[in-house]
Structure 1
Amino acid sequence: MVEQAAQRVAEKIVASAPAGWTRVVMAAKAGRGGISLSGGYTVPGTSRRHPVPSVFAELGSLAEAVRKVRGWDPMTVEIVCRPSGEYELVAFADVITSLRGVGGGFQAVLDPSYRLPPSDSGQEESTAPPAGDPELAVARFHAYMERRAAILGRPEQLPPPASAAALDRAERRIGRPLPADLRALYLIADGDGIDYEHRYLLHDNGWLALEDLVAVHADLCEPVWYGWELGWNSVVFDADPPGTVRRAGGHPAWVPFATGEDGNYLAVDLAPAGNGRPGQVIRVGRDYDECPVYVADSVTSLLGRHLELLELGAYEKHDDHIELVEPEPRRGPERIVGEIPGEVPPGLQAVHVNDAASPVDLAPLTGAANLRLLHLNRCATTDLAPVRTLPVESLRVTLDGGDLTPLEGHRHLTSLELGSTTPIDIVALRTVPNLRGLDLSRAVVRDLTVLADLPDLRYLALTARQWTALLDEGKAPHTLAAARLTDDDASLVEALTWAARLGLDTGDALRTAGSLPL
């Protein structure tokens, strides 16, 4: 069955081949969760790109056949075809993933259970009391609804109140009590939706019924893990004002209570950072994974702001809908994309320098006391000294001379992507206590065996030549949870051999070959 499914994939690839082709390589990830593919035909004498055809249906059948005999879901598959009709297919469980088209090479997951520590793991917790006032919140809600009724010319119908027993059940299910002011509002109405239609009372957000609140909390209570290819050097940035909200992509103590119906939510924060208040309102969800947004110190204050906007006339009326007019909050951190200015804004958290004249002078960043990410793309610098005192967590840099001594003992740095134009010594990285992700594939490293001494390295990306040198010395870091072979021309067969040297059991890789009738 697998052989037949593989042949159908090969038939479609060969049937779609351009004139003059000599070889085609297709890499794919396929399973019940979806299919992604990349690859192309080799056509000598032309620079034109010849991508592989869309063989999603055929790959779906192949994935189903492999799942029945191996139990893999999803799987990584690579197929090579030639004009002679000969083809070879190799497949393996998705602990080895092709990154062709998304950076190149292959990724191997050595410890599927490991997750990187969250950015907020060392943050101070708030000891302040809640800012919300249930009696004032109720009074403001009634005043707000009366003002809306005056604008619309009629009162808006709301659902019946939630019972105290229903609130108790909801709190047990989310594992913590709701803020007193939000709980008081649910004793007025169980959200603002009737027959699946919201009144959008909370600045164009639909107020969730208790049952929906519990369900959304269950979906969003933990950060989404997007995999090592995106997660190894990711950063969660600080909210504004700084230190009010945990630097996290999700948290069990964030309880969404209103929806923008776009994957984003207003939530009450029951475990704020040091400068926050329990019960404060934040924005979380699809567009806020890298930076939750502070909205108000409480639901009480949020209602006060909504009432104020109505009284100021800062709204637009559209038939039976009122839209409050207020500046949209920043959806991400303050960042610079381009060249570094002579003066940087005090709230700067991310810098992406692209294609700048080299060497790039990093000295203007010395005053960027909140800088978390610094990426130099397709340009180089000679001096990392300005980074020494900055809280940079994700650093991507090419050194044209200079060295890594400014990074000695850097307690914030968690990921480093390093390139170099000359041989470089990485001994300084032994003293970086929280360095967990490292990409040296663009660097000329004097002694790769130093990597075995890094205290808690979890992700390592190297070229095939670098990996061979390291593994031949028996010095691969024993702490690795994931690794990457960066060579874009590496085959899955080569990746399986590499992963086996790292300790993965690749002996049950599925291989099949055949020849198509021409």
Structure 2
Amino acid sequence: MVEQAVRPIVEAIVARAPKGWTHAVLHGRAGRGGTGVTGGYSRQQERWNTGLPNPYEELMALAERVREDRGWEPISLEIQCRPSGEYRLVAFSDAISRVTGMSSGFQVVLDPDYQLPQPGQHQQPGTAAPTGDPELAVARFRAYLERRAAILGHPEELPPPATAAAIEEAERRLGHRLPADLRALYLIADGDGLGHHHRYLFQGNAWLSLESMVAEHTEWGAGERPWYGWDLEWDAVVFDTTPTDTVRRCGGHPGWLRFGTSEDGNFLAADTAPARDGRPGQIIRTGRDYDEGPTYVADSITSLLGHYLELMDQGAYEKDGDHISLLEPDHDPAPQQIIGGDIPDEVPPTLQAMHINNVTGLVDLAPLTAAPRLRRLHLNHSATADLTPVRELPVESLRISLTEGDLTPLEAHPHLTSIDLTTTAPADITSLRTVPHLRGLDLSGADVANLPVLADLPDLRYLSLTARQWTTLLDEAKVPPTLTAALLADTNATFDDALAWAARLGLSTDNALRVTGTLTTVGG
């Protein structure tokens, strides 16, 4: 069964092969969620020629056969073939997968249930009282509807009110009480949608019914942020909001009750679990485009409605048919992130991420001390000789190319969670033993003489090394005890290499699937 499912994929690879090809490798992932492939063809005059097909239906059929045979869902696979018609399939569960991007190679996940904590989970909670006022919110909402009716020339039909019993049932299913002012609005109307038609009362956002709010909450895993895989998550950062310390630094949270949607994966939410300087019931934006952190909107739905009325009083709106768009005043927000080039002459104090790209000569990091909220510092094709300024900054994700190899300025750094280190001189990583929250480390571009120190890191969850570095570490039995995911940073490694490496890390790979064969007819 599996053997028969492989052949159509090989035939597709051969059919697309360029003239003079000598070898082809397809790395793939396939399962109920779809397929994805990387790889290419090699020729005598060039290393790789892309253009591999992605035979979707054939890969899905193969995944189905393997799922029936081994129970894996999804699967990772590698198919190698040659002009002679010889081919070889190696497949395994997606505990091992080929990754590309900043770091390429094979990734192994040793504990699929573990996910890195988000900083907002441990932030100090807010203790202030809510600012929302149910009576004022109702008065403002009714005034808002009246002004909209005057502009449109007719009142807008809304759904009937939600009952108190329906609200209580929704709150039970949400696991949180609605803010009192938002609750009062549901006693006027259960959202703004009739059938599939919405009024988009909240600045282009459809106001969800109670049932839809509960469904969104359930679908998003009780408000938790989606997990995108270790290759994307190991050095991820969540930014702070403006004002600072009002909203938890999370990509998602069970206490964020999504009541409005722009229908593109983004939401307005009532925050029932604010950070230290926030207020319960404050309004935020969260969702698909807010993985690096939510956006603060207003301290309550009451205040948000007041803002809408002010804009209408100013004539700051546009009418298009039966839709009204409120026009926010133009403003130039203080930059949170700078990408490209060297450090600017004036570093904005609001800066939370700095990407320094393609700088000739050594970069002096000292000016960045003017950014007391800096969380991410990445040097790409750029280098520095002194990490001392980082000691004074709340940097969590550090990608650095270091000429001197001196890591002592990072000793006991209270914020660092990930380091991607490249060196041009041998580096001593002893200082990293004192970094209490270091969970991700990429040393594949570094010259490190004392790799066994890694076994002393207290909570290292992700580690990327070259094949040679891994051999050194494994031969000395010095793998970090808390390791959850790892990367074999070797672009030339085969799936068989990855299986052998993963086995040394403790993953059982004895049941890996291997199939060989030869096509009877192959084009030149």
TM-score over 0.5 (shorter chain):
yes
Once residues 190 and 70 of structure 1 are traced to their aligned partners in structure 2, the CA distance between those partners, rounded to angstroms, is 48
Once residues 396 and 105 of structure 2 are traced to their aligned partners in structure 1, the CA distance between those partners, rounded to angstroms, is 25
Once residues 164 and 12 of structure 2 are traced to their aligned partners in structure 1, the CA distance between those partners, rounded to angstroms, is 62
In structure 1, what residue type is equivalent to 2:214?
V
- For residue 380 of structure 1, give the secondary structure of its aligned residue in structure 2: coil
Is 1:397–2:400 an aligned residue pair?
yes
Is 1:348–2:351 an aligned residue pair?
yes
Task: Return the offset for 1:288.
Answer: 1.0
Contact in 2 for aligned 1:344/1:368 (Cα 8 Å):
yes
1:91–1:470 distance in 2 versus 1, CA, 3 Å: same
Task: Report the counterpart of residue 483 of structure 2 in structure 1.
Answer: 480
In structure 1, what residue type is equivalent to 2:389?
P
- For residue 417 of structure 1, give the secondary structure of its aligned residue in structure 2: strand
1:102–1:411 distance in 2 versus 1, CA, 3 Å: closer
1:270–1:50 distance in 2 versus 1, CA, 3 Å: closer
In structure 1, what residue type is equivalent to 2:469?
Q
Once residues 477 and 195 of structure 1 are traced to their aligned partners in structure 2, the CA distance between those partners, rounded to angstroms, is 55
Once residues 69 and 311 of structure 2 are traced to their aligned partners in structure 1, the CA distance between those partners, rounded to angstroms, is 63
- For residue 17 of structure 1, give the secondary structure of its aligned residue in structure 2: coil
Task: Report the counterpart of residue 207 of structure 2 in structure 1.
Answer: 207
- For residue 483 of structure 1, give the secondary structure of its aligned residue in structure 2: strand
Give structure 1 stretches of 5+ with no counterpart. none
Contact in 1 for aligned 2:359/2:382 (Cα 8 Å):
yes
Once residues 24 and 322 of structure 1 are traced to their aligned partners in structure 2, the CA distance between those partners, rounded to angstroms, is 56
- For residue 144 of structure 2, give the secondary structure of its aligned residue in structure 1: helix
Q: Deviations over 1:284-332 (max 9, x none)?
A: 1111111100000000000000011111100001122111001589999
Task: Report the counterpart of residue 40 of structure 1 in structure 2.
Answer: 40
TM-score (norm 1): 0.98
1:493–1:63 distance in 2 versus 1, CA, 3 Å: same
In structure 1, what residue type is equivalent to 2:481?
H
1:280–1:163 distance in 2 versus 1, CA, 3 Å: same
In structure 2, what residue type is equivalent to 1:311?
D
1:444–1:15 distance in 2 versus 1, CA, 3 Å: same
1:170–1:349 distance in 2 versus 1, CA, 3 Å: same
Once residues 331 and 96 of structure 2 are traced to their aligned partners in structure 1, the CA distance between those partners, rounded to angstroms, is 40
In structure 2, what residue type is equivalent to 1:193?
G
TM-score (norm 2): 0.97
Task: Return the offset for 1:113.
Answer: 1.1
**Correspondences of 1:60-459 after superposition (within 5 Å):** 60-100=60-100, 103-220=103-220, 221-327=223-329, 334-338=336-340, 339-459=342-462
Q: What's the RMSD between the two structures over aligned residues?
A: 1.5
- Which region of structure 1 is more displaced relative to structure 2, 90-99 or 113-122? 113-122
Once residues 476 and 82 of structure 1 are traced to their aligned partners in structure 2, the CA distance between those partners, rounded to angstroms, is 37
In structure 2, what residue type is equivalent to 1:118?
Q
Q: Percent of pairs identical after alignment?
A: 62
Task: Report the counterpart of residue 495 of structure 2 in structure 1.
Answer: 492
1:101–1:144 distance in 2 versus 1, CA, 3 Å: closer
In structure 2, what residue type is equivalent to 1:139?
A
In structure 1, what residue type is equivalent to 2:99?
L
In structure 2, what residue type is equivalent to 1:497?
A
Task: Return the offset for 1:102.
Answer: 6.7
1:128–1:329 distance in 2 versus 1, CA, 3 Å: farther
- For residue 238 of structure 1, give the secondary structure of its aligned residue in structure 2: coil
1:103–1:140 distance in 2 versus 1, CA, 3 Å: same
Once residues 42 and 49 of structure 2 are traced to their aligned partners in structure 1, the CA distance between those partners, rounded to angstroms, is 9
Give structure 2 stretches of 5+ with no counterpart. none
Once residues 17 and 334 of structure 2 are traced to their aligned partners in structure 1, the CA distance between those partners, rounded to angstroms, is 44
In structure 2, what residue type is equivalent to 1:165?
A
Contact in 2 for aligned 1:293/1:331 (Cα 8 Å):
no
- For residue 87 of structure 2, give the secondary structure of its aligned residue in structure 1: strand
1:506–1:402 distance in 2 versus 1, CA, 3 Å: closer
Task: Return the offset for 1:219.
Answer: 2.5
Once residues 181 and 309 of structure 1 are traced to their aligned partners in structure 2, the CA distance between those partners, rounded to angstroms, is 21
Once residues 2 and 244 of structure 1 are traced to their aligned partners in structure 2, the CA distance between those partners, rounded to angstroms, is 55
Contact in 1 for aligned 2:405/2:423 (Cα 8 Å):
no
